[in-house]
């Protein structure tokens, strides 16, 4: 038997994305977004959905830029903190000990301690309802060199990203490799 849950926003998995911005005074800020993901290959784009009440919202509009940083499990506490407190009240980089690094390409900081970052220029703003979708064109992808395997592929087992389950409001690790994609007969 199937049971209807109504109009929910559950999907598996939700990514854990740390969005980096400068506020209108140039102060760096980070917030967690799980409503997001890659949305176009060419031009390469990523979309994040942000409520207007977030401090990040006006920062993205002011600078027309943001970064999407992929944290490792080792920083799970700092990530959760960035999803609980607002940059309008405190400096989350100072509180968490994370390091903002200025991008050369756009007016947004990335997180030095996180292994993978997408540097984004704001391409489109889609007002949906409670959330506004910001589509960023990916201008560069920055990765810790030691996370690149000899094959040139990124090593997900070293990057150790984690996911969010909105149903239980919990974070989960990513499991083992199952099989190669595009390999079924």
Ligand X SMILES: Cc1cc2nc3c(=O)[nH]c(=O)nc-3n(C[C@H](O)[C@H](O)[C@H](O)COP(=O)(O)O)c2cc1C
Residues lying near ligand X in the complex (CB under 6 A)? 29, 31-35, 49-51, 54-56, 80, 83-88, 164
Minimum distance between the CB of residue 166 and ligand X, rounded to whole angstroms?
Answer: 8
Neighbour-count burial for 46-72, b at 16+ CB within 10 Å, e otherwise: bbbbbeeebbbbebbeebbbbbbbbbb
Residue 183 Cα to chain centre, angstroms: 29
Residue (59 or 117) nearer to ligand X, CB: 59
Decide if 83 contacts 31 (C-beta within 8 A). yes
Q: Determine contact, residues 95/85, Cβ cutoff 8 Å.
A: yes
CB of 112 to ligand X, least distance (A): 19
- Closest approach, Cβ 9 to ligand X, in A, equals 10
Number of other CB atoms surrounding residue 5 within 10 Å: 8
User: Which residue, chain included where needed, has tokens 């799970």?
Assistant: 76
Phi, psi of 87 (to 5 degrees): -65, -10
CB of 27 to ligand X, least distance (A): 10
Could you give phi then psi for residue 145, rounded to 5 degrees? -55, -35
Cα–Cα distance for residue pair 160/132, rounded to 1 Å: 29
- Position with the least CB separation from ligand X: 83
Output 60 or 138, the one with its CB closest to ligand X.
Answer: 60
> Shortest Cβ distance from residue 44 to ligand X (Å)?
20
Query: Whose Cβ is closer to ligand X: residue 101's or residue 163's?
Result: 163
Q: Which is nearer to ligand X, 58 or 101 (CB)?
A: 58
Nearer to ligand X, 11 or 148 (CB): 11
């Amino acid at each position: 038997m199937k049971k209807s849950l109504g109009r929910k926003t559950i999907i598996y998995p939700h990514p854990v994305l740390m969005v980096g911005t400068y506020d209108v005074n140039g102060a760096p800020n980070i917030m967690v977004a799980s409503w997001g993901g890659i949305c176009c290959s060419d031009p390469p784009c990523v979309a994040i959905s942000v409520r207007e009440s977030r401090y990040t919202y006006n920062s993205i509009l002011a600078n027309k830029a943001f970064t999407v940083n992929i944290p490792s499990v080792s920083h799970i506490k700092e990530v959760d903190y960035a999803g609980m407190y607002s940059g309008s009240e405190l400096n989350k980089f100072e509180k968490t000990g994370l390091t903002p690094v200025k991008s050369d390409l756009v007016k947004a900081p990335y997180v030095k301690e996180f292994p993978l970052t997408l540097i984004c220029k704001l391409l489109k703003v889609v007002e949906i309802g409670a959330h506004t979708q910001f589509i960023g064109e990916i201008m560069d992808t920055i990765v810790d060199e030691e996370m690149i395997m000899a094959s040139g592929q990124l090593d997900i087992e070293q990057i150790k990203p984690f996911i969010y389950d909105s149903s239980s409001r919990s974070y989960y690790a990513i499991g083992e490799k199952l099989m190669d994609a595009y390999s079924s007969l």
